[in-house]
Amino acid sequence: MYTQDPYFWRAGAIATVIFMCVVLAALTIDTLRQITPGGARVPAYDVINSAVTYQYDASRGEYAPKIGGEELIFGHKYSADEATALLARGKLVIQSRACIDCHTFFGNGAYYAPDLTRAWMDPVWARYAGPKRADRLAKFLMNPLRLGSRPMPNLHIQRDEAEAAVAYLKWMSAVDSNGFPDRFGAPGAQ
Amino acid sequence: MYRAQRLGLKYLTASTVMFGAMIVFGLLASIYYVRPGFMLNTFNFSTAKIVHIDGLVIWLLMGFIGAIYWFLPQELDREVEGIGLAEVLFWVFCAAVAVVVVVFIFVQYGAANEWSMWFINQGRKYVEAPRWAAMGIAAVAGVFAYNVIATTVVARKSTGILTVLIADLVPLVLLYFDAFPEMTNMSQDLFWWWWLVHLWVEATWEVLIGCIMAWTLIHLVGASRRVVESWLYVEVALVLGTGILGLGHHYFWIGTPRYWFAIGGFFSALEPLPLLGMVVHAVYDAGERHLQAANRPAFYWTLAEAFGNFIGAGVWGFMMTLPQINLYSHGTQWTASHGHLAFWGAYGCGVIAVLYLAIAQARGCERLDGTAWKWSFALLNTGMVGMSGALLVAGIDQAFFERAIGGSTWNAYLSMEGRPWFNESMWARLAFGLIFACGFAVLVYDLIAIPKRREAGAREEATAAAGS
């Protein structure tokens, strides 16, 4: 019987794998197009010059980032090129200190410390409104305070590195991640 | 014995050493959860975690490579092509791993510059190894793929298992090049990073362990090659047919489009199917053989692989990958629970089965049984199930109270840390981790003791012969 012939199953395996690879390739092209900075889902890097909040969107039934008017960080308005260079450095800070091996980004990483997706707008910094928040966050990164029972180590982050990392967190908080995390900073939540 | 088989045994030995190192650093990492502030600023949690998870990858990779060097010459009845180069690269690989671990432990991190990426830590989970070491791993993988392909070509003979293995090695090696890029855009970075992590762990590695298990079954219980190869093709079709687009369950929340909800959810739901088929077949085979085989430890670890793969990777994975659940379970200890049980069931048990099979064959031990392996089997599996259970309770607690109710803020996270269910689970995880470590110690003792058993058997036979 043909089902007892391994070559029958081999043909099925090859056809299945080729089909799935073609579908994945097509979806990859479309996804990469949609997550290029400057699109509707992933903002341009100079979004760091604007206010970013996370609000409930009734039409979508979930929370989504909202870009507001101008709100500068570190007293500087970054051009597109400056913002790109600053965020590239911010990403290097995050990688060089292996932040992802304690924290999570969009929920990916280790699970030993809080998720950083919306860390920029965390209520813990609420009393530091506007430009003050960036400065406060940068100081925290350089000399971490003991928040709760699980302290953050001092990773010898320099001022310029801290500013780049804070700018990165602000940009990341503006990425549309389909409602994740749910109810972040919502009334009644912590 | 072929030189390639001797090399295979070296890889399996190195793999066991890495298994031990992974356990030590896993235990260390678990202490930070019950003693916050442990070795703060001296040896931070992230360093212990990096050595733990990178050790896991290296343990399993070395185990796979060792298993294939063991089986390949037997499959083709000839020495492996380029074996001299492979032997040199084994020592290069071991030296590189040692240097990377020393740098991780004593240097830990650097400034935000390219030097850190090249020589200290790339800071991307699972592929933290600095670029120079990653290039070394790519070279080892390239030479390994060359060994397999060139030997098959020179032998002018191929089998179904070899065909699948070669077809699998090409993407496996190519995907590793995903360990190098440095992208500013976190969404794109994570998008490609999952190509490496998911398409290794839930696709190419599954096929690789499928090939290794196919050889194991042929050598262990004399399974029919025709039947084994047919099942291998079915497994390839199902694993890759569901696993390639199952990649979508990692694309729910990283900034990627919404259509990944449907694609990821649907194919993730199908991913347990091939693993369920494996369990059904394992139960059938085990029943037919009344749980008896000449090499009982290898046989039991093969069964554990089938069950562990289905439960750890299949059931535990499906439990949390539907987007409606994943919104809250994603990035919690629930994920860690799945990770532990899945890696153990899908790969760890398989590597241990090959260890028993290869060492018994190498030492001419035709029958293998005893008491120590049963203790090791029970302790390791009890430890792993206990750790995964504890992490699951912690993860569900976290999903409810930090994520769903607390809204995932820093204060929600910090409050969750103080919750009794979370803390009790972390203590339980540490306790079961110690049980797991005891199981590893007995495993090593048992593997070392195998020649003694053969000698004891020979003495008994000699005594019996003299008596008759």
Window B:269-328, CB contacts with A under 8 Å: 327-328
Note whether B160 contacts A118, CB cutoff 8 Å.
no
Q: Which residues contact B44 (CB under 8 A, 6 or more apart)?
A: A102, A153, B108
Predicted confidence band of residue B244 (pLDDT cuts 50, 70, 90):
very high
pLDDT > 70: percent of chain B:
96
Q: Which residues pair with B373 in a beta bridge?
A: none
Q: DSSP assignment of B335-375, as one string?
A: HHHHHHHHHIIIIIHHHHHHHHHHHHHHTT---B--SHHHH
pLDDT of residue B255: 97
Note whether B244 contacts A17, CB cutoff 8 Å.
yes
Domain encompassing residue A139: 45-173
Give the SS3 label for residue B111: coil
Q: State the Cα torsion B352-B357-B360-B366 to the nearest 10°.
A: 140
CB atoms under 10 Å from CB of B151, counted, come to 22
Chain B positions in Cβ-Cβ contact with residue A175 (cut-off 8 Å):
186-187, 255
A179 lies in some domain: no
Mean pLDDT value of segment B218-236: 86
Predicted confidence band of residue A54 (pLDDT cuts 50, 70, 90):
very high
In total, the C-beta contacts within 8 angstroms joining chain A to chain B are: 258
Q: DSSP assignment of A38-72, as one string?
A: TSSSS--GGGGGEEEEEEEETTTTEEEEEEEEE--
Q: Residues A168-184: pLDDT tens digits?
A: 999 999 999 999 999 99
Tally of domains in chain A: 2
Mark whether A121 and A164 lie in a shared domain.
yes
CB atoms under 10 Å from CB of B231, counted, come to 21
Distance CA A100, CA A109 (A): 5
Note whether A107 contacts B331, CB cutoff 8 Å.
yes
A58 lies in some domain: yes
Mark whether A14 and A76 lie in a shared domain.
no
Q: Residues A55-105: pLDDT tens digits?
A: 999 999 999 999 999 999 999 999 999 999 999 999 999 999 999 999 999
A59 lies in some domain: yes
Could you tell me the sign of the dihedral formed by the alpha carbons of A155, A158, A159, A160, in that order? negative
The three-point CA angle A6-A7-A13 to 5° equals 90
Q: Would an 8 Å CB–CB cutoff place B183 in contact with chain A?
A: yes
Mark whether A151 and A101 lie in a shared domain.
yes
Chain B positions in Cβ-Cβ contact with residue A89 (cut-off 8 Å):
112
pLDDT of residue B162: 95
Note whether A94 contacts B32, CB cutoff 8 Å.
no
Indicate whether B338 pLDDT > 80: yes
Indicate whether B452 pLDDT > 70: no
pLDDT of residue B277: 76
**Least CB–CB distance from B327: residue in A89, A172, A180:** A180
Mark whether A156 and A94 lie in a shared domain.
yes
Q: Residues B343-380: pLDDT tens digits?
A: 999 999 999 999 999 999 999 888 889 899 999 999 99
Looking at the complex, report in whole angstroms how far the Cα of residue A39 sits from the nearest Cα belonging to chain B: 11
Tokens matching residue B229: 């190869």
Chain A positions in Cβ-Cβ contact with residue B330 (cut-off 8 Å):
107, 180
Mark whether A88 and A117 lie in a shared domain.
yes
Q: Integer distance in angstroms from the first to the last C-alpha of chain A?
A: 65
Note whether A20 contacts B244, CB cutoff 8 Å.
yes
Query: Of B292, B280, B145, B294, which Cα lies nearest the Cα of B208?
Result: B145
Indicate whether A130 pLDDT > 80: no
Mean pLDDT value of segment B329-346: 95
Predicted confidence band of residue B89 (pLDDT cuts 50, 70, 90):
very high
Mark whether A110 and A164 lie in a shared domain.
yes
pLDDT > 90: percent of chain B:
75
Note whether B233 contacts A16, CB cutoff 8 Å.
no
Distance CA B94, CA B133 (A): 11
Indicate whether B458 pLDDT > 60: no
Note whether A184 contacts B120, CB cutoff 8 Å.
no
Looking at the complex, report in whole angstroms how far the Cα of residue B69 sits from the nearest Cα belonging to chain A: 24
Indicate whether B457 pLDDT > 80: no
Mark whether A49 and A17 lie in a shared domain.
no
Looking at the complex, report in whole angstroms how far the Cα of residue A9 sits from the nearest Cα belonging to chain B: 6
A81 lies in some domain: yes
Note whether B330 contacts A34, CB cutoff 8 Å.
no
Chain mean pLDDT for chain B: 92
Note whether B191 contacts A31, CB cutoff 8 Å.
yes
The CATH code of the domain that includes A104 is 1.10.760.10
Distance CA A90, CA A97 (A): 11
Window B:362-401, CB contacts with A under 8 Å: 398
Distance CA B8, CA A164 (A): 47
Q: Would an 8 Å CB–CB cutoff place B154 in contact with chain A?
A: no
Indicate whether B34 pLDDT > 90: yes
**Least CB–CB distance from B331: residue in A32, A41, A104:** A104
Predicted confidence band of residue A131 (pLDDT cuts 50, 70, 90):
confident
The mean-pLDDT minimum among B70-84, B141-155, B272-286, B445-459 falls in B445-459
What pTM was computed for the model? Answer: 0.94
A150 lies in some domain: yes
Distance CA A163, CA A90 (A): 8
Predicted confidence band of residue B270 (pLDDT cuts 50, 70, 90):
confident
**Least CB–CB distance from A6: residue in B113, B230, B250:** B230
A118 lies in some domain: yes
Mark whether A73 and A21 lie in a shared domain.
no
Looking at the complex, report in whole angstroms how far the Cα of residue B115 sits from the nearest Cα belonging to chain A: 10
Distance CA B155, CA B76 (A): 7
Chain B positions in Cβ-Cβ contact with residue A182 (cut-off 8 Å):
327-328, 403-404, 407-408
Indicate whether A128 pLDDT > 90: no
Q: What are phi and psi of A122, to 5 degrees?
A: -65, 140
A190 lies in some domain: no
Note whether A179 contacts B327, CB cutoff 8 Å.
yes
Distance CA B60, CA B68 (A): 12
Chain A positions in Cβ-Cβ contact with residue B233 (cut-off 8 Å):
6, 9-10, 12-13
Fill in the amino acid letter for B253.
W
Mark whether A64 and A140 lie in a shared domain.
yes
Note whether B406 contacts A189, CB cutoff 8 Å.
yes
Predicted confidence band of residue B189 (pLDDT cuts 50, 70, 90):
very high
Mark whether A56 and A97 lie in a shared domain.
yes
Chain B positions in Cβ-Cβ contact with residue A20 (cut-off 8 Å):
240-241, 244-245
For chain B, list the domains and their CATH numbers: 1-182 (1.20.210.10), 201-247+262-468 (1.20.210.10)
Q: Please, are residues B199 and A187 in contact by the beta-carbon 8 Å criterion? A: no
Note whether B190 contacts A105, CB cutoff 8 Å.
yes
pLDDT > 70: percent of chain A:
96
Mark whether A67 and A103 lie in a shared domain.
yes
Chain mean pLDDT for chain A: 92
Mean pLDDT value of segment B302-314: 89
Tokens matching residue B396: 């569900």
Note whether A32 contacts B408, CB cutoff 8 Å.
no
Q: Residues B375-409: pLDDT tens digits?
A: 999 999 999 999 999 999 999 999 999 999 999 99
pLDDT of residue A6: 77
Mark whether A10 and A74 lie in a shared domain.
no
Looking at the complex, report in whole angstroms how far the Cα of residue A69 sits from the nearest Cα belonging to chain B: 22
Note whether B49 contacts A95, CB cutoff 8 Å.
no
A181 lies in some domain: no
Query: Of A131, A127, A190, which Cα lies nearest the Cα of A166?
Result: A131
Q: Which residues contact B232 (CB under 8 A, 6 or more apart)?
A: B160, B161, B164, B210, B211, B214
Looking at the complex, report in whole angstroms how far the Cα of residue B6 sits from the nearest Cα belonging to chain A: 32
Q: What are the E-state strand segments in B261-348? A: none
Note whether A89 contacts B46, CB cutoff 8 Å.
no
The three-point CA angle B4-B170-B17 to 5° equals 45
How far is C-alpha A126 from the geometric centre of its chain's CA atoms?
19
- How far is residue A90 from each of residues A39, A109, B185, B449, measured CA to CA in Å? 21, 17, 11, 53
Instruction: Tell me which chain B residue has its CA closest to the CA of residue A143.
Output: B41
Q: Please, are residues B121 and B50 in contact by the beta-carbon 8 Å criterion? A: yes
